[in-house]
Structure formats: structure tokens, C-alpha cells
Structure 1
Amino acid sequence: MNIKKHVPNFITLLNLLSGCIALIFAMELNFEMAFFFVSLGIFLDFFDGFFARLFKVSSPLGLQLDSLADMVTSGVVPGFIMVTMLSDGNNISATSWAPYLGFIITLASCYRLANFNIDTRQTDSFIGLPTPANALLILSLPLILQNNPPEIIHILLKNPYFLLAVTAFSAFILNAEIPLFSLKIKEFNFAKNKLQILFLTTSVVFLFVFQYLAIPMIILFYILLSVVNNYQLGKK
């Protein structure tokens, strides 16, 4: 019995378990623990692929398991978080349909994950925002709200129209035909990796200064930097 071939799939299932636990904490409005377990799931999501390549045991089964696990951790959980924010923490009833629009994030995540599996262009970079990044973006919002943000941000995050705009943006950017540069540093060469180094350095500074508020700033910076990079490459 080849144990190595089961290691990546076991790690993927741990990602799924993390997403399930995160969902329970989200239902209890414990957003910090929900954020922790989604982050843990994303961490495990990185290592299942790492070990699959290390042990040379990549398989179609692993690819499908990976997307199914991500569907919960990076699809269902952020959608539920947005539903909760749109309901302003109140119990959701059948007569209150508007909060359910938050699940548009879940539907868009599902479409992206299915499309990713058949899109051969996304081997070394991404087209559209990856679901883990989008999940962190959405899960950061209630944490920002809980940590005494500036008044204007507090007002925006309590405004259902702003939250619906964020939901629409999330669904769009997940599936937009916008190439986003890869964060992988394949060799220690500053000239070839200056974009990645600039992004990672800026992200560390943002996190140190702005904490949870840094997360949406980092995601938007990543998208903007990619668009600028695409424009420069197009001019060459």
C-alpha cells in the first residue's frame, strides 16, 4: 500500500474539516475563530498541492477533492458571513430575503472553482481572484467592524447597499478575465521577482500598520498591481 499517495488527499480533507468548523463558528457569530479556521484551511490547501508534487502523486481525484474542500472553506463560509452581515446579526427569516443575496458569493465561488479545473491557462498564474483570497477579503469585514474602525468605514460596513456592492464586486472579480500575477518565487533573482517582492513587502507593512483593515487593502493592491503589470507587458 502506497501511503504517500494518500497524504495530499488527507491534507485536503483537513482543509474541508477546517471549513466546516469555521462555518459553525460563523453561525455563532464568533468571527475571529471563523477567520482562524478558514486561514488554517487555506494553509492546508497550499500544502496538499505541495506534497502532491513532492511525492509525485498528483491525480484527478486529488484535483476534485481540492475544489470540493475549497467550496466549503472559501465558498460557503464567506457567503454565509455576508448573509450574516446583511442581516446585521439578527435571525434570518423566510420573509427577509435580502440577506440571502450574500450567497451570490458562494455561487460565484462555485463557478470559479469548476472553471479553474478545466482552464489550462491558470497553471503558473491566475485569471480572476482565487477563492482563498476572496474568502479572506469577506471574512475580514466583520473583524474590521469589531475593532473600532474609522467612523466612515463603520458606516459603510453597516450599510446593506455597500455590502451588496461588495458582494457584486466579489462575484465579478472571482470570474473576471483579469490575469493576476503569481506569488510564487521560483528563483532568487530580484529582477525577475521584483513584482512579488514589492507586493509581499507592502503587504507586511499594511498588516503591521492596519491589522484586519489591511486585508481588503492588500487584495485591492494585488488586483491593481496586476492590472498595471498587464498594461506594461502589453506595451512591450
Structure 2
Amino acid sequence: MKKHIPNSLTCLNLITGAIGCIAIIRGNSEWAIYFVLISAFFDFLDGFAARLLHVQSAIGKELDSLADVISFGLLPSLFVFAQLEQQLDQPYLPYVALLIGAFSAIRLAKFNTDDRQSDQFIGLPTPANALLLTSLPLLPSAIDLSGYPLLALALVTCYLLVAPLPMIALKFNDWSWKNNQLKYSLVILIVLLVAMLQLKALPFVIPAYVVLSIIGNFRPAKDV
């Protein structure tokens, strides 16, 4: 029975992402961020449960990526498409948003076949990308990322998904500060941002994550 628990949680991730896609299609784009957050919660739980119960499997790994394509690939694609369709006069440019789903699928396929990503990520993780894009409406009104700036951001994130850029993974081989400075710095920064801004911290969390990861590339590998 316990071997089915992780895969059941993965399916909840997929179903939540699918409901989020339906919400966007029905014109409720503002709900997208909540479905991404819930999907990310299930995505965390399925891996945690698999390790805790010692029931990790090849099928679970593949199922996880299939669910992530929906929740963190298709969902943000539809979200950005809906935004661009409202903001641009060009009828075809919004379809560029579908590249987010395609590059997310490539990112996930690379993850499944790359043994370098056991203690770090190579490229922006798909949940982080989905959180960034769907949280943009939470930005202060003074920061306008709509229309062509949004289109440009979507293309930049497509590149980041598959870029050969080592990114921080919150996986700890030990708990020492010396070997995990950037990881602890990231956790502290996220806690501070959330404490100050609550949900509105989300659009700033992922850029901070990317910046700290880039800084980590100039430090010894043990500090990343």
C-alpha cells in the first residue's frame, strides 16, 4: 500500500495543475498562482514520501516529470498566453507563450537523464519558473511587466530553463554553515521577504534565487 502513496501525491500535483489550466481558460487567471503553489506542495510531498518510505522507483520519477509538465509547464504557458492576448494587439505573438511549456518539457527530460543534478540543478527548475511567471500580478503597480516586457521575460525564462547554469538545490549533505552558506542565505532571504511582504514576496523570491545561484558559480563547489 505504501508504495502507492508517492505516486498518488504526484497525481494530485497533476490534477491540481490541470484544474489551474481550466481556471485560466475560463478567465480566472488570477487563480493561477494558487494552483502552482498547491502543485508545488504536492511535488515536494511526493519526493519526501518516496524517500521516507523507501519506495523510490523509475516509474515514480517519470510520473513526476509528466505531472510537472502540466503544473509547471502548460499552466504558466496558458497564463502568459492569456495575459499577452489581453495586452497585445498582435494576434499571433501571444502564442510565443507556448514555448514555456516546450522548454519546460526539455528541462524535465534533461533532469531525468543528467546525473550531475543530484545535489544541484542545471538550469532554472520548472516549479521556480512557474512561480515567477504566475506571481507577476503581485508586483507593485510601479513595476510594469505587461505586454512586450512580459513577452521578453517569457523568452528569457525559456532560456534559463535549459541554460547550462548550475542553480542552488536545497539538498543538504551536512548542516554546517561553511559548506552551505548560499543555501542558508537563500532560506534566510526567503523568510525575510515573506515576513515583510507575505504573498507579494513571490515575484522577488525567484530572481533572488537566480542571482544567488549565479554568485555561487564564482565560489567553490562545496559552497553552492
Superposed displacement of residue 211, structure 1: 4.3
1:97-145 per-position Cα deviation (integer Å, ceiling 9, x unaligned): 111111111111011111111111111110101000000001001343x
1:199-230 deviation line (CA, Å, top 9, x unaligned)? 11111222233445532322111111111121
Aligned equivalents of 1:112, 1:69: Cα separation in 2: 13
TM-score, normalised to structure 1, is 0.86
Q: Identify which of 206, 210, 218 aligns with 1:231.
A: 218
The one-letter amino acid of 1:188's match is: W
Cα 1:162–1:175, aligned 2, differ >3 Å: closer, same or farther?
A: same
Question: How many residues are aligned here?
Answer: 222
Q: Does 1:129 align with 2:129?
A: no
> Aligned match of 2:141 in 142, 150, 171?
150
1:71-150 → structure 2 map (5 Å cutoff): 71-88=69-86, 96-144=91-139, 149-150=140-141
AA aligned to 1:150 is S
2:21 maps to which of 20, 23, 26: 23
Which consecutive unaligned segments of at least 5 residues does structure 2 have?
Answer: none
* Greater Cα radius of gyration, structure 1 or 2: 1
Q: Is 1:169 aligned to 2:160, yes or no?
A: no
How far apart are the structure 2 equivalents of 1:222 and 1:167? 17
Q: Matches of residues 59-70 of structure 1 in structure 2 within 5 Å?
A: 59-70=57-68
The aligned counterpart of 1:217 is 204
Give the gaps of 5 or more residues in structure 1: none
Identity, % of aligned pairs?
41
Query: In 2, Cα distance between the equivalents of 1:228 and 1:80?
Result: 32
Q: 1:89 and 1:42 mapped to 2: Cα distance?
A: 28
Greater displacement, 68-77 / 46-55: 46-55
Normalised TM-score (structure 2): 0.91
CA displacement, residues 13-42 of structure 1 (integer Å, 9 cap, x when unaligned):
010011011112222333443211211111
